[in-house]
Structure 1
C-alpha cells in the first residue's frame, strides 16, 4: 500500500469533500462531521460525475446529477439510481496532512 499526501485537513470543510487526482484516477476525499476523513473513488457509479461536487451531509454524499446517495464511509449505494457501491480507500490525518492509501 502506498500512502500519499492528498491535501491539508483545513482544505476540506467539515461535512465537505474535495476532488483529488492521482495518476490517471480521480478520488473524492471527505471530512465528516466529527473531523474524520474518508476517501472513495471520485466518480458516481451510476454515471461518471464527480462526487466532490455533490452535497455532503453527515456521512453521505449525493451525486449532483441524478441524486444517487452513497455512505462515503463504506461506499454503500443508499439511493437509486446509484446501485453499485463505491470503492473506498484508507485515509488518515497526520500532522494536519490528509493521507490516502492507494493501490
Structure 2
C-alpha cells in the first residue's frame, strides 16, 4: 500500500492498487474511521491483495491465506461495511458462493 501526502491540496492519498481505474474521495469522518479500521487489519489487507487481480470467493480466499472460511467471511463483512469491496452471490456446488471484488482502485481521504 502506498501513502503519499499532497501538501498543496491537504489530501492524503491511499493507493490500494497500481492502476487508477476508479477513485473514491472520502470526506466524512465516520467513513474515514471505518476505512482506517478496515485497513488496520493485516488479514483484511491480505484479502484486498488476493482480490486485486480479480474476483474471488470466500473458500478460495481462505485457501490462499490458509485461514478458515468463517474468519474470511467476518473480515469480508468489515471490508464491505467500509465500502472497500462489494460482493455478489452465485450458485456453487454446495449452495451459494459469495464472490468479493475490489470496489475502488484508489481512495482519497480529505481532511477539512
Which structure is higher in RCO with an 8 Å CA cutoff and minimum separation 6? 2
Question: Which structure's residues are more often helix, by fraction?
Answer: 2
